[in-house]
Structure 1
């Protein structure tokens, strides 16, 4: 299955303020494929990175496999604060609120035990997520 709707990569580039890293570009070049990650979207694997409010944030995303990995580390010493490998993601998007907040939204299918995961990246960094194992 593929994330539905497919995440808009321009929105993710806006949120992370940088182009993602196509993780398998060298492997593809070695086999003679010269595709860019945009051409292969959503059937590729890319990593978005940014640094905000003293935190290094990374999101690996594979929309074609409904997989997202979120990592949050302290900027100075690299201490790992959060590492989530999430399977069964319905879609991912960027949200800009009128109060200057910018958020990553990770949605799950209806009936899933996980509620929407929010990663606020501006003006500060915070994670909000609910999970109800009783409904699994």
Structure 2
């Protein structure tokens, strides 16, 4: 089996940030292993990380372009990024004007960099005026921490 490309990346499941090597053999065949040089996991992966290739290959539920609906019951229609972002901005503005800043919240990834957390917090707290922000790192890792302690 010939490896056409190898990519160093970070596992996307939790907030630990394990290093992963993804070996691309073909469009339909990937192999995932832990990066032995990465300080967070030194080549080891949990069961989720070891099966990352299945998530990467299953594209049945992925969007490859922005879509928009006329209303909740309409089918999604392909659109361009500018139109999609304008619609999102309009809806956020309408909801906040109608129900106040605490009517919206942010649930962000555990994989963000410190600078990205800073920007999202500034948008939520400083610009919109809500404290409704949490991260996957708290929810995802809380059960793992209890398991590790046991």
TM superposition score normalised by structure 2: 0.25
Structure number having the greater strand percentage: 1
TM-score of the two chains, using structure 1 as the length reference = 0.27
- Structure having the higher helix fraction is 2
Higher radius of gyration, 1 or 2: 2
